[in-house]
Amino acid sequence: MGAEGICRRALCLLVSLCLILGAAWPTEAARAKAVSKKAKKAAKKREVPGPVIKSAVVTDMASGRVLYALEPDLAIPPASVAKIMTLYLVYEAVELGKARWSDPVPVSVKAWRTGGTKMFLDPHTTVPLGELVMGIAVVSANDAAVAVAEYLGGSVENFVLRMNEKARQLGMTHTVFKNPHGLPAKGQITTARDMATLSRAYLDRFPESLRVHSQRYYTYHNIRQRNRNRLLGTYPGADGIKTGFVCKAGYNIAATARRGDTRLLAVVMGARNPVVRAKETARLLDEGFRMMGARGG
């Protein structure tokens, strides 16, 4: 083959290669474009997050004035914030002379088997009522809530009837309790407004309860557990009340803090996580104290 033939063959090969690459290029370009679209879509999702909380109410304890409200009547599971009503009925029973803090409360197998957070009670034993209240208030003990309900109500079912009766008396028109601890139950709902109503009534009638709610740790059976209220010890004047979480609701809290002569209540429902719950509650309390002109810690 002469030099001219070799040159022609090389030229043909070069043209063929260019045609192949040219045909493949749009495919690669299309892939790059698709990847780019996906990246932009993902970035857009990150830039537009959902709401950090679902509902909230901030109230002045003394006057009952609502300082801030976000979807205050949105129905949402109460989670362990329901235990405020359980504790209300315990304090009421003691106040009325129907029970004493030293009463030995039997621990049933049902109470012992209750899931979720607990103080690790032993079945077929008795525990002083005051000890159970510590467990409910500080470490959100579900086993203690059941033991108390059985003791004061005769059965959990009867105690829950009392919870709902008290809710009606207090004006909690959008709340239905199904158990004394707040674990998931069909039809168990409340609102931020109703929980603010309960919290204000509870602290107004039983202000001494804050001596328990302000405890950051509780030990039972040599097991030391921490209060899940992250505002305690970190937010000036915070001394209660109760947190809660279930998947359907998110992270809830009924919090209170005092500055000078001003005490505020902040109910935050459906926070994304515990950090957001604490951060948003602190922010709302700050704004509430600013509105009230309160200074100091």
- Residue matched to tokens 């579900």: 142
Do you find a cis peptide bond into 241, omega within 30 degrees of 0?
yes
Is residue 264 within 8 Å of 288, Cβ to Cβ?
Answer: yes
Bridge partners of 243? Answer: 253
E strand segments, the chain: 55-60, 66-70, 104-106, 126-128, 217-220, 223-226, 238-246, 250-259, 262-271
Catalytic residue list: 80, 83, 140
Q: Could you tell me whether strands 238-246 and 250-259 are parallel, antiparallel, or unpaired per DSSP bridges?
A: antiparallel
Going from the C-alpha of 276 to that of each of 53, 73, 252, the distances in angstroms are 8, 21, 10
- Residue matched to tokens 């009340």: 241
Is residue 181 within 8 Å of 153, Cβ to Cβ?
Answer: no
